[in-house]
Amino acid sequence: MSFTRFDKYVDRHARAFTERLQAMCRMPSVAARGTGMRAMAETVAQMMQRAGAGTRSFTMGSGYPVVYGECGAGSRYLVYGHYDVAPVGHLTDWSYGPFASTVVDGKLYARGASNSKGDLVARLAAIEAYQKSFGKLPVCLCFVIEGEDGLGSPSLRRFVDEHSEMLTAEGCIWDEGYKDPTERPVISLGFKGITFIELHVHGARTDLHSKWGAIVPNPAWRLVQALSTITSPKGVITIDGFSSHLAPISPEDAEALKTVELDEAGLKREFKIGHWLRGLKGHALAKEHIFGATCNICGIQTGHTGAGPKTVLPSSAMARLDFRLVPDLTSEVVLGLLREHLDVRGFQDVEIVELASSPYAKSPIASGVARAAIETAEEIYQVPPVVYPMDPSSGPVGAVCGAGLEPTPVVSFGTSYAASNPHGPDENIRLDDFLQSVKYFGRIIHHLGQQSRHRSGSHPAQSLALAKR
């Protein structure tokens, strides 16, 4: 099928699509502030309806609505997005008002333009263009748009728990991705999981005068000694049995890994660090970044660290850790191994408290959504995409796509570019990238439809989830 009509439609409506995005970016929907969130959720539902979707909003407790919308019929594919944006930080750091939606030199400056209202508007625009150019969608796209990306997605997680049947799908399209500094689009085939925990050790009732240090157990020392057994001085995780749970990297993933190159010098400059962990570099560095499980100290709090010469023997000590999970690690496995590891070494006094967790999500490169995204990218971007077998970040993606016995394959890409600065000041996207995204998504829809036709005919189980209720 030729995309000439489709592309012409997109080009003719470029201004309208851009204005739609600008209007959306003028609505400040900072979840952390809670302003304008319900208005934004309603606007999202209306935009979906205008694209022909049936919608339903799910409000979990006092959270912000999860807006669900279905468009088309046939094989079901989830499309994730979020309508909340990050806090703007210091206004004086911005060149343009963060909610003014200013276009300068082909770039739209706005909080949320990159992360990720641009993706949502582009994907809905692609549906409109597809329907106007070719008629009905060849598949059923199920949009799941949450408003709590900045808050750890509590409503979405509850939605997933309570409405898992609505999330049954052939695949899922996520919204993280960008063009790297060499202008190659980055596509990810999964995300690491995460387990976020605290370790607690308790000592005397209150902080004591440190003259008691010779005879009163110090919980800070206990914590340090316990922590020191779970990684080596070189930074290798040394929890008993941990490494045996790490799945080998498949030949396909190893192949995809070859396309990934970190901008080592640029990142070192940005971070102001002299070397990488264990002196890693090149291919080994990229492999560790993408497939390495982590055990990271996020913070430690104990005793007195404020001003003044106060020498105390702390009454308690706490460390916050996050583990990034790669196949086949689960939160249960990590916590079980850690508990046993500490117990065996006499650290029964070190309490483990789980704060939050998300499973990893990992798709085979041969999955339908991965193929659709990878095989159509070059047509739009003129260069082969960089394929991350796994994105080192984590999020609710594991809850949506990775939880069940049969995980849903997920692929992720986006409208941003290397200088989009999605969490900082002057967040922006290039309007050319935005329109490319519309065209790219149209081709992905088509590719998914072709896959569907190649599979066995009808999909009776895939009737509208909305119609069922």
Examine residue 254 and tell whether it contacts its own copies (CB under 8 A): no
Q: Which of 117, 123, 157, 192 binds its own copies (CB under 8 A)?
A: 192
Question: For 74, left (φ over 0), alpha (ψ -120 to 50), or beta?
Answer: left
The least distance separating its own copies from the CB of residue 376, rounded to whole angstroms, comes to 27
The least distance separating its own copies from the CB of residue 136, rounded to whole angstroms, comes to 40
Cα separation of 410 and 170, whole Å?
A: 9
Cα separation of 97 and 61, whole Å?
A: 33
Q: What is the CA radius of gyration of the chain?
A: 24
219: its two tokens: 């919980």
Q: Which of 211, 258, 453, 455 binds its own copies (CB under 8 A)?
A: 211
Determine the interface stretch with its own copies among 46-54, 63-71, 87-95, 310-318 (rule: CB under 8 A).
310-318
Strand 107-109 and strand 102-104: pairing? Answer: antiparallel
Helix (H) or strand (E) holding 123: helix 118-134
Q: Which of 145, 169, 227, 444 binds its own copies (CB under 8 A)?
A: 227
Determine the interface stretch with its own copies among 293-301, 359-367, 436-444, 461-469 (rule: CB under 8 A).
293-301
The least distance separating its own copies from the CB of residue 19, rounded to whole angstroms, comes to 33
- In the window 102-161, what residues touch its own copies (CB under 8 A)? 152
Determine the interface stretch with its own copies among 14-22, 82-90, 297-305, 374-382 (rule: CB under 8 A).
297-305
Examine residue 246 and tell whether it contacts its own copies (CB under 8 A): no
The least distance separating its own copies from the CB of residue 374, rounded to whole angstroms, comes to 23
Instruction: Return the closest-CA partner of residue 398 out of 233, 209, 160, 234.
Output: 160
Q: Which of 90, 205, 454, 468 binds its own copies (CB under 8 A)?
A: 205
Examine residue 282 and tell whether it contacts its own copies (CB under 8 A): no
Q: Establish how many alpha carbons lie within 13 A of residue 156's alpha carbon, considering only the half-sphere containing its beta carbon.
A: 27
Examine residue 302 and tell whether it contacts its own copies (CB under 8 A): yes
Whether the Cβ atoms of residue 315 and residue 205 lie closer than 8 Å to each other: yes
Q: Which of 35, 182, 301, 348 binds its own copies (CB under 8 A)?
A: 301
Determine the interface stretch with its own copies among 59-67, 179-187, 267-275, 360-368 (rule: CB under 8 A).
267-275
Instruction: Return the closest-CA partner of residue 295 out of 247, 238, 248.
Output: 238
Residue identified by tokens 């387990």 is 195
Helix (H) or strand (E) holding 340: helix 331-344
| Residue whose CB is less far from its own copies, 179 or 289 | 289
Examine residue 272 and tell whether it contacts its own copies (CB under 8 A): yes
- In the window 320-349, what residues touch its own copies (CB under 8 A)? 320, 322, 324, 345-346
Residue identified by tokens 């912000």 is 64
Determine the interface stretch with its own copies among 38-46, 67-75, 222-230, 370-378 (rule: CB under 8 A).
222-230
- In the window 356-375, what residues touch its own copies (CB under 8 A)? 356
Q: Which of 277, 365, 418, 419 binds its own copies (CB under 8 A)?
A: 277
Examine residue 174 and tell whether it contacts its own copies (CB under 8 A): no
Question: For 460, left (φ over 0), alpha (ψ -120 to 50), or beta?
Answer: alpha
Determine the interface stretch with its own copies among 44-52, 99-107, 160-168, 311-319 (rule: CB under 8 A).
311-319
Determine the interface stretch with its own copies among 34-42, 92-100, 212-220, 444-452 (rule: CB under 8 A).
212-220
| Residue whose CB is less far from its own copies, 213 or 364 | 213
76: its two tokens: 């079901």
3-state secondary structure of 332: helix
Q: Which of 48, 67, 121, 318 binds its own copies (CB under 8 A)?
A: 318
Whether the Cβ atoms of residue 179 and residue 417 lie closer than 8 Å to each other: yes
Instruction: Return the closest-CA partner of residue 190 out of 367, 439, 417.
Output: 367
Cα separation of 250 and 325, whole Å?
A: 17
Q: Which of 213, 316, 335, 421 binds its own copies (CB under 8 A)?
A: 213
234: its two tokens: 């070189």
Whether the Cβ atoms of residue 78 and residue 462 lie closer than 8 Å to each other: no
